[in-house]
Structure 1
Amino acid sequence: MFVGRQTQLARLNTLLRHVREDEDAKPGKALLIRGRRRVGKSRLVEEFVDRIDVPHLFFAATGRPVRDELRLFAEEVAASNLPGAAVFNGVHISNWDAALRLLATTLPDDGSVVVLDELPYLVAADNGFEGTLQRAFDRELARKHVLLIGIGSDLAMMEALNEYGRPFHQRATEMVVPPLTPAEVAGLLDLPAADAFDAQLITGGLPLICNEWPVGMPLMDYLQQAVGDPTSALLVSGERSLAAEFPSDVQARTVLQAIGSGERTFANIGRAAGDIPQGSLNRSLTALMAKRIVAADKPLSTKPASKDKRYRIADPYLRFWLSFLGPHLDEIERGRGDRVHSRIRASWTSWRGRAIEPIIREAVERLAPPVILDEHKVPGVVGGYWTRTNNPEIDIVVGDRAPNTKHVIALGSIKWLENAPFDHHDLGTLQAHRTQIPGAAVDTPLIAVARSGTAVDGVVHLTPENLITAYEP
């Protein structure tokens, strides 16, 4: 079942319409689509080409040697509905320059779509591919009424393809395919707002996982069903993503597992990863952050402390998978998913309390201010604050900018428990911490994000229902 993505589909249709109607000498256009693995980029484009009534080619690279990719490309073109596809029957192509020039001869005059999926594989396998693609686009493809779409999950590489100094610079527009939002998850699974945020922690908003979650099923019931099936998308998506990202980099996976187990500081990650040397740990963390798999957070205040950097898994689903599923796949495969489920149930509340923080901060940033603090009319950025000793540690800090905040607009606390509202004790703790954060004043507004409501006055109270409105159109 295909869900959501109406904004992206509309944009694709608009680009194709411009390609077909453009009377310039070079009507062809290029689009680079990026997004994390298994977020549904290829599925989106497949849905698009299925809905349109124009000839198209959809080629997915495999990471094989260049000669094999060229052979598969020729076979895919020959099997496509491009009007000149027959020229590829039985042809032997020795390089991408010849392949793309020949492709141009197959394209019609009234509009077509050419998709190169897993574009980073082609770039990695052939150092000259970017230049070849640029020349083919400038000399051949751009003169055709064709929409050329490149898709990739290597976020850093896909961003770099369009940067200044690279061959394809300024030749393509860009599109980012995000995960489904908590509001989309709520609508798809028919869950109340609070449960939808919890579901976001498990699925990461990945459509493939959401589609196997029965509508209306409670979270723990779905988990019990999923861990009982070794082929569940919830189980296999994590391993497939890691295998694609790190086919041979064992050390990066070890560091990732250390962060996934809950370690957040540089020193603790290094110890948990087997006391690897600092230089090696730095390289692994740099690579993980470049791939947008790991995020590094800094305390947000008027006196930022760069040495107090903390690391986390950027993808909620992968964080859940590394914490509960990946280390215990052997149990699931031998039919003891019940043990995994019991382990999740026992640790869920404490694990969720930390894991929900980045998602809540994103939602608050979408709302804050002026929506929640009317007297402040700047957009606002949201982070957290901590010291090396975690005294204090503040869940929410709203500043006027990042990373060098000039004014702390508000600060707050997250209490994500089913049966415990934000109470006087929580308020007293937050008021005491307000005096310890650089840039805050005694009258700095306070925010309480509480799953079960609040029993006190004097705070801006945000419920799950408030937060989910941040994702509405």
Structure 2
Amino acid sequence: MKFYNREDELKSLKEVRQLAFTDYSRFTVMTGRRRIGKTSLILKACEDTPTVYLFVSRSNEAMLCSKFAKTVNRSLGVFVPESVNSFADIFEMLMNFGRTMAFNLVIDEFQEFFYINPSVYSEMQDLWDRYRKETHVNLIVSGSVYTLMHRIFQDAKEPLYGRTDQMIKLQPFSLSVLKEILLDYNPDYTNDDLLALYTFTGGIPKYIEMLVDRKCYTMEEMVDCMIQENSTFLEEGNILLIQEFGKKYGNYYSILASIASGKNTIPEITEAFGDVSIGGLLKRLEVDYEVIVKKRPILSKEATQTVRYEIADNFLRFWFRYVVKYQDFVQSGYLKGLADVIKEDYPTYSGFVLEKYFREQLKERQQFRNIGSWWENAKGNKNPNEIDIVAIYAKEKKVFIAEVKRQRKSFKPELFEQKVEAIRTKLFFKYEIETACLTLEDM
């Protein structure tokens, strides 16, 4: 798959590289979840300029340094002895080379030093402070484990705190880029094809690449590709989360599985857990790991107890809903059965994801100051008043209210009008209200 998007990030990386090469050394940190394209972006930004690329695998420091020495010698045409066994020594040599030559130094999976030798960070801090004003090194470090990267660079107690010139947190592809990719690879795509790509990948570049390279453009083709023997997708959730959570992942997995199954309020999750206190676990999943997001009815106070949680990442939501829930299918090798379950459930499941799609679409328009949804328990009625999308315009006293349905025939105008009147009375009696039913046709 060709390189897509990332124009703003490329521009920023190239500007900093120019400053490093002409002025003095600069330090960039790039974070983002696994498979989001950090390495591809960094190497694209370093094209046609001298670059040393070091990948930090979790191994013995001396063995790692021996490999790094060979890479430096090959990349810069200099000499670093392969007997060097300290990364601090290699880093000091590289900074010294930066006195007489300008080059990019890329250190990938930088957080792995935490397990190999955490003193690397304080040693780098000392060397960087001493050499940066006298050298021309464009230092870029990247990492996939969000919690560790955040700690290394944003915890005031850590040695590299305050040393960076820019931090980039890479996000998934936007909806417009998803459309561009499908147009390039499958010009006759349908809106349901677009929804399937968004549902299963959430805009993560590597997942998209894996599907389009195999010419999987429809929902059925994508499911068959993902749910087959030795498929990367089957283990991907484990790799992503165990990397973040470590060995104590059991309770986190249970919470995420509960949310994915639709039990997404605190009472519902608590009931599934019995006597285990979940408040701290939920907070860590939301704040520290950024795996879930807390949803409140739009304009409600922060202290409201009317809270729902959802898994932020589309792929993880899908993985917990099907791969984790039907793990017995996976273990027994009955993958065709799992694929059939997903295909059968897809119209229902994708309807929920379609709401998220339209919220993203409205966000990309950059016209609204607040986009969310709204719900309340109506008195004497077990069914809540609930509205899928509420978007408040930024420059007008106007609100956009929409119900989302896959098919327009499922829309019930009279019921929707009752809900609109309820929210008008509660929140928007002084606003102009614009309403719509959004379907696959509107994507």
Normalised TM-score (structure 1): 0.80
Cross-structure match for 2:93? 102
- What is the deviation of 1:128? 4.1
Give the aligned partner of residue 78 of structure 1.
70
The residue number in structure 1 matching 2:363 is: 365
Distance apart, 1:314 and its partner CA: 0.5
- Separation in 2, partners of 1:444, 1:195: 35
Letter in 2 for 1:311: Y
Q: 1:120 aligns with which of 100, 108, 111?
A: 111
Alignment correspondent of 2:53: 58
Quote the Cα distance in structure 2 between the aligned partners of 1:6 and 1:232: 28
**Alignment match, 1:434:** 423
Measured after TM superposition, the shift of residue 212 of structure 1 is 2.3
1:350 shift after superposition? 2.0
Q: Does 2:61 correspond to 1:45?
A: no
Counterparts in 2 of 1:77 and 1:106: CA distance versus 1, 3 Å: farther
Higher mean alpha-carbon deviation, 287-296 vs 347-356, is at: 347-356
CA distance in structure 1 between the partners assigned to 2:192 and 2:236 by the alignment:
25
Which position in structure 1 is the counterpart of 2:194? 196
In the superposition, relative to structure 1, how do residues 89 and 126 fare at CA in structure 2: closer, same or farther (>3 Å)? closer
Establish whether residue 28 from structure 1 lines up as the match of residue 13 from structure 2.
no
User: What SS is found at the alignment partner of 2:267?
Assistant: helix
Which residue does the alignment assign to 2:186? none
Contact persistence 1:421–1:451 (CA under 8 A):
no
- Aligned partners of 1:400 and 1:408 also within 8 Å: yes
1:460 equivalent in structure 2: none
- The range that moved more, 441-450 or 107-116, is 441-450
What's the offset of the Cα at 1:311? 1.0
Alignment partner of 1:412 out of 373, 397, 401: 401
The Cα of 1:302 is off from its aligned counterpart by 5.6
**Residue aligning to 1:404:** none
- The residue number in structure 2 matching 1:224 is 224
| 3-state SS in 2 of match to 1:200 | helix
TM-superposed deviation, 1:141? 4.3
Instruction: Return the offset for 1:452.
Output: 4.8
Please say if 1:135 is aligned against 2:126.
yes
Deviations 1:64-109 (A, max 9, x none): 5xxx13530342232333436532312232xx54342233234463
CA contact (8 A) 1:162 1:172 kept: no
Q: Distance in 1 between matches of 2:428 and 2:383?
A: 17
Q: Tell me, yes or no, if structure 1 residue 211 matches structure 2 residue 206.
A: no
Q: What residue ranges of structure 1 are gaps of 5+ in the alignment?
A: 370-378, 402-406, 454-462, 465-473
Alignment equivalent of 1:392, drawn from 385, 402, 415: 385
Q: Distance in 2 between matches of 1:325 and 1:393?
A: 30
- The DSSP-based 3-state class of the residue aligned with 1:307 is coil
Equivalent residue, structure 2, for 1:19: 20
Match of 2:345 in 1: 347
Shift in CA distance, 446/133, structure 1 to aligned 2, threshold 3 Å: same
Give the residue type in structure 1 aligned to 2:103. Answer: S
CA RMSD of aligned residues (A): 3.0
Alignment of 1:211-290 (within 5 A): 211-214=209-212, 215=215, 217-227=217-227, 229-249=228-248, 250-272=250-272, 274-278=273-277, 281-289=278-286, 290=288
Structure 1 CA distance, aligned partners of 2:44 and 2:231?
23
In structure 1, what is the equivalent of residue 304 of structure 2? 306
Single out whichever of 334-343 and 414-423 deviates more from structure 2.
414-423
Unaligned runs of 5+ in 2: 184-188
Change in 2 beyond 3 A, CA 1:282/1:132:
farther
1:299–1:305 contact (8 Å) kept in structure 2: no
Q: Does structure 2 retain, via aligned residues, the 8 Å contact 1:110–1:145? A: yes
Measure the CA separation in 2 of the matches of 1:323 and 1:395: 21
Q: Distance in 1 between matches of 2:147 and 2:437?
A: 34
Alpha-carbon distance, 1:299 to partner:
1.6
- Secondary structure at the counterpart of residue 29 of structure 2: strand
Alignment-mate amino acid for residue 58 of structure 1: Y
- TM-score normalized by the length of structure 2: 0.85
DSSP 3-state at the match of 1:447? strand
Q: C-alpha deviations, 1:243-297, integer Å up to 9, x for none?
A: 312230122222222222222111211233x32422xx12221221111111111
